[in-house]
Each structure stands twice: as structure tokens, then as C-alpha cells.
Amino acid sequence: MIGALIIVFREVIEAGIIVGIVMAVTQGVRGSRLMAGAGVAAGVVGASLVAAFAGVLASALNGVGQELFNASILSLAVCMLAWHNIWMASHGRQLAAEARQLGQEVRSGARSLFALAIVVAVAVMREGSEVALFLYGLVAAGGTTASDLLVGSALGLAAGVAVSAVTYFGLVTIPPRRLFAVTTGLITFLAAGLAAQAANFLQQAGLATAMSDTAWDTSAILSDTSLFGRVLHTLIGYSDQPSVLQVVVYAVTLAAIFALTKAFAPRTITRPPQTPLAQNG
Amino acid sequence: MRNCSLLSAIGLTIAVAAGAAAPTLADDAAPVQITLKDHKFDPAETTVAAGKPIVIQLANQDATPAEFESKELRVEKVVAGGGSITVKVRALKPGRYRFFDDYHEATTQGFLVAQ
């Protein structure tokens, strides 16, 4: 039972953290709960489909279907996170300050929510398909221990949901003004980590063959399969044996999103303050 | 966001096209054949040439799915029950590389020895 608990928990922890971050980012925005719920639901459906057609997917596209699929959905998530950050940088401050009621902004807000719903769906689908396959294996293997293992899996899932809750409640205790900066940073690192994972799938598919050497090996110091390593893996993309390509992709993604977010941010400093009290934005 | 979706679509198209073209760049060495049966890898240890890219073909003869994984080889791929997968591995430095089934990590493992 403990084994099943650990395996399921390990798989859902990444999705749990991402869902927690997204919910904190969109906290208070109308429709955000619905968005998160829809993202999770779409992810669960997607995960079941991916698990059910795992054999088909693996043999698709000359045997690299699984890698290309993973690389594609990870890239989509990176793109959505980057877009969200840039959009928030250019509109978010005003939205937070104003009442979020003007038609244009509500529409834009809904689009931003949609982008994050995709991120949630991708995260749940990626991790969820592995859980679904693992559970299928348990059921298919049958035997007297199956129910015991299912209980373990349910507890593992509950623990993953708890991680999500801890992430969310941890983030929302940050004062709103700081929260914006914190989540912008978190999303940037999150996106860079996902981009590095996508690069790994392209290498595994044999599509990216350059820079395949291992950049460093810190598995003896902090294994990325340990609990803390996994949390760091999700939050900042920590990997104990990355390829050089992964490191390069990580750095480029990080720099690009930071630069774009900065470039699209309104220059509040050069603008004359409207009231003496409104300067600290 | 439209631009973003467009970019993703283009990226996917290029990736798919590249995927379709990839096998024409024939791999020189014969693939390493590994079988998974009763949650055991056979052979449990295979020797491969160091310094050359490797292709592993894994046939899962169990009814249950497995996740072929190795941190050292940087591989992570699901194989359905009764299914088989192909995994490409970079040119390896001499050494002993561990792989395992992520769903049964403690008991289901094997090694690739590059020399």
C-alpha cells in the first residue's frame, strides 16, 4: 500500500504544485475556480485517453509519437505561461487596480484564464496518464492485494491534492502587491523547467542530437527523485543529470520570458503620479 | 495568444515532419533488444559500444503497462501491456547505466554497460 501511495503521490505532486500556483495567480478573478476545475477535468479526460491509447501513441510516427506528443503539450504549456506573464505585465496591474469590468478587459481576462486552464490540463494530463496506467496495471494484475493498492493510490492522490492546497494557501498569504511579482517569477521558472523537459523528449526521440552530454551530476547531493528534489524540479526545473541542451533551453526560455515580460510592462516610473497615494504600484 | 497557438502548431508540424524523416537517417548499430516478462528485464545486463548512439527496443510481454525509465540514460517512456517501444539513447561514455520500470522500481531493473 505504501508503495502505491508513494508512486501515485510522486506522479501527482508536479500537477498539484502547478494547479496550486495557477489558482493563486488567478485568485479573486471571476470564473477562475471554474477555469481550474475545467482544466483539471480536461486533464483527467486527456490522461485517460493517453493511457488507453498508450500503445498506439508509442508506435505512432515511427515510434516517436509519445515523445513528440509530450514535447508538444509541454511546449504548449510553456507558450501559455509565457503569454500569461506577458499579458499580466501589460494589463494585469491596471486590472488589479481597477474593477475588471470593462468589456475589453473582461474578454482579455477570460483569454488569460483560458491559457492557464490549458496549463492545468497539460499538467494533469501528463502526470495523470502515468497514474492511470499504473492503476490499470494494478487492476489488470488482480489478486488479493489490488484493493489494498487502490487504497494506497487514493491516499497518494489525496496527498497530491494536499500539496496543491499547501502551495495555494502558502502563496495567497503573500500580500497582493508582492504576490504579483512572486507569481510572475514562479511562472517564468516553471515555464523554463517545462521547456527543458520538452527538450529532453526531443532528445529521446532522436530529433535533437546536439549537446546530449550530461552537463552535471548532482544526484549524490540532491536527487531529483527525492521529495525535495521533485518539488524543486517542478518549481525551478531542477534536474540532477541534465543534458547540455536542456540547460541551454532552460536558460534561453528563462531569459526570453523575463525580457518579454519586462518589455511589455508599462513604464510606471516615467508616468506622472495621478494622486500622491497611487505611487507605489 | 493566437500567435502563440500558431507558433505551437508550426512547431508541432516541424516536429512531426522531422519525426517522419528521422528513420531515413539510418542508425548504424543494431538495436539492443530487451524483453520485459514477469516484471524482469531480459537480458538484465547488455553490453553496448561506447561513443555511439544506441537504439533500444523493448518488448513488454506482461499484460500490465510499464514505464521504462533511466535517469542516467535520460529516458522515460511508457510501454503498454503486450506492446513494444523504441528508445534512442545518446552516445554513452564508458560506464554502467541503470534502467528500471518506474512502476516497480525496486524489483524491475537492468543495466546497460557501455565499453
Q: Which amino acid is present at A122?
A: V
Query: Does some domain include residue A273?
Result: no
Burial of A34 (0-12, 13-18, 19+ CB in 10 A): exposed
Write down all domains in chain B, each with its CATH number in brackets. Answer: 28-114 (2.60.40.420)
Across chain A, what does the average pLDDT equal?
84
Tell whether the model's pLDDT for residue A162 goes beyond 80: yes
Binding-face residues of B in 8-37 toward A, CB within 8 A: 8, 11-12, 15-16, 18-20, 22-23
| The three three-digit cell numbers of residue A111, written as one number | 483569454
Q: ipTM of this predicted complex?
A: 0.78
All residues of chain A having their beta carbon less than 8 Å from the beta carbon of residue B83 are: 54-55, 58-59
- Residue A46 half-sphere exposure, CB side, CA atoms within 13 Å? 20
Tell whether the model's pLDDT for residue A62 goes beyond 60: yes
Handedness of CA A226, A229, A235, A238 (dihedral sign): negative
Interchain CB contact of B56 with A (< 8 Å) = no
Q: Is A158 left (phi over 0), alpha (psi -120 to 50) or beta?
A: alpha
What pLDDT shows up at residue B4?
56
DSSP codes, A149-206: HHHHHHHHHHHHHHHHHHHHHHHHTS-HHHHHHHHHHHHHHHHHHHHHHHHHHHHHTT
Query: Does some domain include residue A176?
Result: yes
Query: Does some domain include residue A157?
Result: yes
Query: Does some domain include residue A57?
Result: yes
Per-residue pLDDT reduced to its tens digit, B27-63: 456 899 999 999 999 999 999 999 999 999 999 999 8
Across chain B, what does the average pLDDT equal?
82
In contact, A9 and A90? CB cutoff 8 Å: no
Tell whether the model's pLDDT for residue A166 goes beyond 70: yes
Q: Which amino acid is present at A32?
A: S
Tell whether the model's pLDDT for residue A197 goes beyond 50: yes
Question: How many structural domains does chain A have?
Answer: 1
Whether B15 sits inside 8 A of A54 (CB atoms) is no
Query: Does some domain include residue A200?
Result: yes
Per-residue pLDDT reduced to its tens digit, A227-241: 899 899 999 999 999
- Residue A209 half-sphere exposure, CB side, CA atoms within 13 Å? 15
The boundaries of the domain holding residue A39 are 2-265
Check: pTM over 0.80? Answer yes or no. yes
